[in-house]
């Protein structure tokens, strides 16, 4: 009893632990919590300061910002940013006609505005379809200069839009809305069939706003943005279909999806690009040709879709069985159950790996050089070919790396924001 009483008196006499707050407390807890951590912090901080001082001295203090050519720029002791000032238009727009550079510039602005508006959750409704339709029309009209919309495209859009609307709104929408979806589906299907058999002539809507520029002259940032944006936009629903097909109870559908996913994920992207550029024309009828840029875009879509499918399949498997059973108990059909109940929850779970895949494919667009397409990194590299400005690769690659960092870091931060916003109801 005496020992117990003595321990109680000692406990009462012991002072309460103090917790330091503010910047000083954070530094003590995270950087100087022990002698080993303090020594590591000092050494690394000294190294960072030394690198920072050297970089500022090289990139700013002794840098050359104006020069007529490379030898004149090389007389300085620092970076030669005059090269970027001389070649920035080629780096950004490649071989696009020089006097028409305003067109890819506004095309990039249209795509960036379209992407920024898509990041606003208030636009996640019918407005998003309008934004992407208008933005895509402006982008490709500026890049091509001429656009032609065949009648087949209108029939196909009517068939797909009507069929999806009919399936998703069945039992929910008013009879008038269902009748509209049915009419779109029937008209689109019949019109597409008549066009295929040749009953309806090959009509189309042509828009000739500017001089035509073939895709072989495209280059720089617009190529990177188009390949990454539209490649992932088409790969995303395609990956969802593959993920759902791999979980199907139909052996044939499941087997085809599994085989395709494993085949595509088992080969590098370069091999698909080479197949699309070299092998595909050998299987086409004589006289027919598919644009090289379109072939590269299809290869990116197929490759990205296989990876996205596995990510989404992981999200689907993480959902408890009760979610599927509750959706069935509500009387929803497969399309309604999947699009309204299952997929929103699965996609919320896999936001981090999805954005990681998007960032990876944004950088992988540089691989299209293997088939003769020059994206942003490759046009930056081609700027060094000029003998008047040879010998300054560091400046060009630092400039290109800064542009890539801005895009990739923006996607990363938006991923973090989206993950927090969509999981507000599940956090404790």
Q: Tell me: do 52 and 73 sit in the same domain.
A: no
Tell me whether residue 204 is in a domain. Answer: no
Tell me whether residue 44 is in a domain. Answer: yes
pLDDT band at 71 (very low <50, low <70, confident <90, very high): confident
20 has a pLDDT exceeding 80: no
CA distance 128 to 137: 14
Tell me whether residue 302 is in a domain. Answer: yes
Q: Tell me: do 255 and 315 sit in the same domain.
A: yes
CA distance 183 to 189: 10
CA distance readout (Å), 233 to 136, 154, 239, 349: 12, 20, 10, 19
Confidence (pLDDT) at 108: 94
CA distance 8 to 308: 61
pLDDT digits (tens, 9 = 90+) for 314-350: 888 888 888 888 888 888 888 888 888 888 888 888 8
pLDDT band at 112 (very low <50, low <70, confident <90, very high): very high
Task: Compute φ and ψ for 149, nearest 5 degrees.
Answer: -110, 105
pLDDT digits (tens, 9 = 90+) for 3-14: 555 655 555 555
Q: Tell me: do 28 and 85 sit in the same domain.
A: no
Tell me whether residue 180 is in a domain. Answer: no
> Token pair of 118, please?
């898509």
Three-state DSSP state, 80: strand
Tell me whether residue 220 is in a domain. Answer: yes
pLDDT band at 16 (very low <50, low <70, confident <90, very high): low
pLDDT digits (tens, 9 = 90+) for 367-410: 888 888 888 999 988 888 888 887 788 889 999 999 999 999 99
Instruction: Find the radius of gyration of the CA atoms of the chain.
Output: 29
Confidence (pLDDT) at 152: 86
CATH number of the domain where residue 266 is located: 1.10.3720.10
pLDDT band at 170 (very low <50, low <70, confident <90, very high): confident
Confidence (pLDDT) at 19: 53
User: Which span out of 17-21, 101-105, 334-338 was modeled with the highest average pLDDT?
Assistant: 101-105
Mean per-residue pLDDT of the chain: 85
Q: State the residue range of the domain holding 368.
A: 66-96+216-428
Tell me whether residue 193 is in a domain. Answer: no
Q: Tell me: do 342 and 367 sit in the same domain.
A: yes
Q: Tell me: do 241 and 298 sit in the same domain.
A: yes
Confidence (pLDDT) at 262: 92
Confidence (pLDDT) at 339: 84
86 has a pLDDT exceeding 60: yes
330 vs 227: which has the higher pLDDT? 227
Number of domains comprising the chain: 2
Tell me whether residue 123 is in a domain. Answer: no
Confidence (pLDDT) at 338: 86
CA distance 139 to 153: 18
Q: Tell me: do 316 and 341 sit in the same domain.
A: yes
Confidence (pLDDT) at 324: 81
Tell me whether residue 151 is in a domain. Answer: no
Confidence (pLDDT) at 91: 92
Structure pTM?
0.85
Listed range (179-188, 223-232, 238-247, 279-288) with the worst mean pLDDT: 279-288
Three-state DSSP state, 66: coil
């Amino acid at each position: 009893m005496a020992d117990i009483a003595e321990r109680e008196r000692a406990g009462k006499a012991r002072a309460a632990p103090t917790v330091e707050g503010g910047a000083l407390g954070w530094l003590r807890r995270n950087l100087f919590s022990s002698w080993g951590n303090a020594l590591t912090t000092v050494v690394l901080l000294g190294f960072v300061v030394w690198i920072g001082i050297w970089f500022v001295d090289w990139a700013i203090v002794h840098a050359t910002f104006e020069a007529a050519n490379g030898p004149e720029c090389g007389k300085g002791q620092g970076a030669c940013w005059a090269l970027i000032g001389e070649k920035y238009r080629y780096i950004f727009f490649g071989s696009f006609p020089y006097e028409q550079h305003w067109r890819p510039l506004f095309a990039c602005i249209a795509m960036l505005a379209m992407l920024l508006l898509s990041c606003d959750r208030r636009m996640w409704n019918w407005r998003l379809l309008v934004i992407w339709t208008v933005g895509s029309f402006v982008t490709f009209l500026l890049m091509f200069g001429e656009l032609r919309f065949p009648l087949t495209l209108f029939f196909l859009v009517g068939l797909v839009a009507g069929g999806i609307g009919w399936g998703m709104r069945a039992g929910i929408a008013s009879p008038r809305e269902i009748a509209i979806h049915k009419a779109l589906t029937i008209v689109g299907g019949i019109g597409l069939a008549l066009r295929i058999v040749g009953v309806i002539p090959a009509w189309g809507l042509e828009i000739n706003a500017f001089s035509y520029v073939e895709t072989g002259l495209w280059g720089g940032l617009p190529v990177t943005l188009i390949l990454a944006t539209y490649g992932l936009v088409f790969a995303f629903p395609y990956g969802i279909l593959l993920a759902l097909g791999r979980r199907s109870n139909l052996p044939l559908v499941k087997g085809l999806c599994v085989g395709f996913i494993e085949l595509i994920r088992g080969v590098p992207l370069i091999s698909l690009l080479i197949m699309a550029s070299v092998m595909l024309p050998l299987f086409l009828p004589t006289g027919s040709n598919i644009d090289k840029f379109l072939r590269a875009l299809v290869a990116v879509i197929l490759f990205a879709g296989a990876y996205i499918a596995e990510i989404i399949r992981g999200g689907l498997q993480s959902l408890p069985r009760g979610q599927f059973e509750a959706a069935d108990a509500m009387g929803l059909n497969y399309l309604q159950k999947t699009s309204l109940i299952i997929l929103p929850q699965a996609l919320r779970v896999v936001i981090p790996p999805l954005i990681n895949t998007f960032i990876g494919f944004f950088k992988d667009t540089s691989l299209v050089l293997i088939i003769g397409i020059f994206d942003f990194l490759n046009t930056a590299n081609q700027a060094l070919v000029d003998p008047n400005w040879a010998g300054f690769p560091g400046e060009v690659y630092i400039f290109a790396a800064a542009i890539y960092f801005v895009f990739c870091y923006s996607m990363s931060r938006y991923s973090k924001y989206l993950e927090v916003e969509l999981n507000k109801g599940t956090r404790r």
